[in-house]
Amino acid sequence: MTTGRAGKERQYERLARRFYARIYSYLRWLCRDQHLAEDLTQQTFVQIWRHPPQPRGDRPLRAWVYRIARNEFLQHRRGAGFETITLGDHDDAYEGHGDCPDPQIRLEQKELCQAVQSALHRLPELYREVIVLHNMESLPLSGVAQVLGVPEGTVKSRRAKAFALLRNMLADEVDPKPMRSSSSPEVG
Amino acid sequence: MKCSQVREVLQDGRGWLRLIPVCPHLVLCRQCRSAARYLLKVQQALRESGRFAPPADLLPNILAVPQYEPHIETKNKEPRKMRHFAYAGIAVLVLAVAAGILISGRGEVPDAMSLLSSVAQAMENATSIHMVSRGQAIDPNSPSGMRISSDRAEVWLSDRAMYMREIDQDGTLTSFSVVDFDSGEFCSYRRGTLYVADITPVYDGALGVIAGARDLFVGGRLKAILANARDVEVLSTNRTRNSTVISYAYRIPSAPPQTGRVVLELDRRTSRLSSMLAYAQAEGADEELIAAVDLIEYDVPLPPVSSFAVIPEGTATVQAVVSIKEEMVEGVGRVRDLDMKVGDTRVFHMSALAKD
């Protein structure tokens, strides 16, 4: 049982260390501005300090934290006449890793990553945040649904639509050529 | 399994265990392999993109919040709620696939895979799952990784790890395996030897090998299962009035001919799976139990690894190496090999003739 200020501070510190980088990255994807993402991350944790998580069996902690961050973002956007930032200022900040020893493959991976990131930035926010939360932040569909406040089926259809849009945008980089319609067994 | 279901699983992009049920379909369906190739590339790129690195002063600023914010007393501790259990039910699916239960939906007959998926869905709220199987002599010809041959086998699954151990009647630990999904590490103890492997290359590459294949070469029992998967006929479906016990009878007509039954028991109140039994009968042979999960306990905290994976004294530790190689073979084409070796001994291998 956590009681008193010391306990609350320990709990807060655990939460902060666990989530601050994820929340910053998530907000950076949402608002596409480094300094704003920094401010909103801090604001998110101020809210967490003020209103610490209460035990509730039906509410996963991770989705709860992301939801607070998203609310902070929406609140800011409503109040600030939100402007999106154009691409180009984010390439250097990724923690992406290309640890393949082959420089050719590393280069190809880097190019593909850049193409995917660029395409992701061009996706409408509705679809982008599903991909960021689910495929990059590894939130389960139920968690994404809780963060966005929509049914799980809606998350699924947005995800499918997002991948379809990405596929069109990435036609040159990722080349899934149409296959023959035959689906005969190929087990050899 | 239908193409739409496969695409849904592929779009998920989390955890290689989740992909096991779709592999047979990918082997047989070119369109889905094409889609898988695209999705895997994009998802790999998304993973490698990583996160935006936070500025160095962000954490200190966040940690300083309590110093300038008023204290609000709270009596409640943080709920110990792990993230939703993404891999719930996968062990059941793994057992089902291993047992050759690849029943596709026909007409109005319920699709067994859909049922298992809904069971997995029903289990998703569990923070961890503890499955125990007792006293089963499992088909000795099944793939060794799936065989439960001891008197008691226990499996724990959570969103972070999967532990499995087998204990003999006299209480002796005969084997254990630990898969850590976060670090991508796999370790397995069996008969005095501890195998340790980094499974990240498998995670990243195994499905890529399948998805990028023009032809695929799979050996042994798995080959027979995959080759026959499209020919499975559901003979009958029976369920009790309240749908707590459902059984499927199936037949695989082509060689080797086989019939079988799968019996699933669901908890009426929670709709959770409470037991699964799979029986198979080769032509001219007696029916035998090939897979069983006879007790599933829900919401059991994950045991600490230290208490689970006690390595007996005198155990030799060997490193298993997983690699994926690609080479041009004259007259054949580009061949991709996935290998898992301990020393010079190959413990797992898969070859694929890559697309041009």
- Give the ipTM of the model, two decimals please: 0.76
The DSSP call for residue B164 is: E
Q: What pLDDT is stored for residue B236 in this prediction?
A: 74
Question: Looking at residues B52-59, what average pLDDT do you find?
Answer: 84
Q: Is the CB of A13 less than 8 angstroms away from the CB of B35?
A: no
Would you state the structure tokens that stand for residue B181, as one six-digit string? 């999904």
The CA distance from A155 to A157, in Å, is 6
Q: Collect all residues of chain A within an 8 Å Cβ-Cβ radius of residue B118.
A: none
Q: Would an 8 Å CB–CB cutoff place A186 in contact with chain B?
A: yes
Would you state the structure tokens that stand for residue B58, as one six-digit string? 């962000």
Q: Collect all residues of chain A within an 8 Å Cβ-Cβ radius of residue B65.
A: 12, 16, 42, 45-46, 49
Q: What pLDDT is stored for residue B295 in this prediction?
A: 66
**Rounded alpha-carbon distances, angstroms, from residue A73 to A15, A136, B342:** 19, 19, 51
Q: Would an 8 Å CB–CB cutoff place B73 in contact with chain A?
A: yes
Q: pLDDT, tens digit, for every residue of B268-291?
A: 776 667 777 777 777 777 777 666
Average pLDDT of the residues of chain B: 62
Residue A9 sits in a domain whose CATH number is 1.10.1740.10
The CA distance from B326 to B205, in Å, is 12
Point out the residue among A52, A159, A179 whose CB comes nearest to the CB of B34: A179
Highest mean pLDDT (candidates B117-131, B170-184, B193-207): B170-184
Q: pLDDT, tens digit, for every residue of A102-153?
A: 566 667 777 777 888 888 888 888 898 898 888 888 788 888 888 898 888 8
> What is residue B191's three-state secondary structure?
coil
Specify whether A1 is located in the same domain as A72: yes
Which B residues, 246 through 305, put their C-beta within 8 Å of a C-beta on chain A?
none
Task: Tell me how crowded residue B173 is: count the other CB atoms within 10 A of its CB.
Answer: 16
Q: Report which of residues B261 and B81 the model is more confident about.
A: B261
Which A residues, 106 through 135, put their C-beta within 8 Å of a C-beta on chain B?
109, 112-113, 115-117, 120, 131, 134-135
Specify whether A73 is located in the same domain as A138: no
To the nearest whole Å, the CA of A81 is away from the closest chain B CA by 25
Q: Is pLDDT above 50 for B196? A: yes
Strands laid side by side in the B193-198 sheet: B213-217, B345-354, B333-342, B316-329, B193-198, B185-190, B173-180, B161-167, B152-157, B129-134, B295-298
Question: Looking at residues B221-225, what average pLDDT do you find?
Answer: 42
Q: Would an 8 Å CB–CB cutoff place B4 in contact with chain A?
A: no
To the nearest whole Å, the CA of B296 is away from the closest chain A CA by 20
Q: Would an 8 Å CB–CB cutoff place B75 in contact with chain A?
A: yes
Q: What pLDDT is stored for residue B84 in this prediction?
A: 22
Q: pLDDT, tens digit, for every residue of B83-93?
A: 222 232 333 33
Question: Looking at residues B238-254, what average pLDDT do you find?
Answer: 73
Q: What pLDDT is stored for residue B103 in this prediction?
A: 29
Average pLDDT of the residues of chain A: 74
Would you list the domain boundaries of chain B? 3-46+85-354
Of A85, A110, A131, the position where a domain reaches its end is A85
Q: pLDDT, tens digit, for every residue of A146-185?
A: 889 888 888 988 998 898 888 888 876 665 444 333 333 3
Q: Is pLDDT above 60 for A70? A: yes
Which A residues, 68 through 97, put their C-beta within 8 Å of a C-beta on chain B?
90, 93-97
**Rounded alpha-carbon distances, angstroms, from residue A147 to A3, B166, B325:** 28, 40, 41
Homologous superfamily (CATH) of B3-46+85-354 is Lipoprotein localisation LolA/LolB/LppX (2.50.20.10)
Q: Is the CB of A41 less than 8 angstroms away from the CB of B58?
A: yes
Q: What pLDDT is stored for residue B164 in this prediction?
A: 74
Question: Looking at residues B138-159, what average pLDDT do you find?
Answer: 51
Whether A128 maps to a domain, the answer reads yes
Q: pLDDT, tens digit, for every residue of B84-119?
A: 222 323 333 333 333 333 222 222 334 444 444 444
Q: pLDDT, tens digit, for every residue of B286-344?
A: 777 666 666 666 666 655 555 555 666 777 777 777 676 777 766 666 676 666 676 77
Of A31, A53, A85, the position where a domain reaches its end is A85
Specify whether A79 is located in the same domain as A108: no
Buried b / exposed e over B111-127, threshold 16 CB at 10 Å, is: bbbebbbebbebbebbb
The CA distance from B151 to B143, in Å, is 18
Closest A-chain CA to B48: A96
Residue A129 sits in a domain whose CATH number is 1.10.10.10
Q: Is the CB of A50 less than 8 angstroms away from the CB of B48?
A: no
Residue type (1 letter), A92: D
Specify whether A39 is located in the same domain as A117: no
Q: Is pLDDT above 70 for A19? A: yes
Q: Would an 8 Å CB–CB cutoff place B230 in contact with chain A?
A: yes
Specify whether A114 is located in the same domain as A71: no
Q: Is pLDDT above 50 for B28? A: yes
H-only helix segments in B50-109: 58-63, 65-68, 90-98
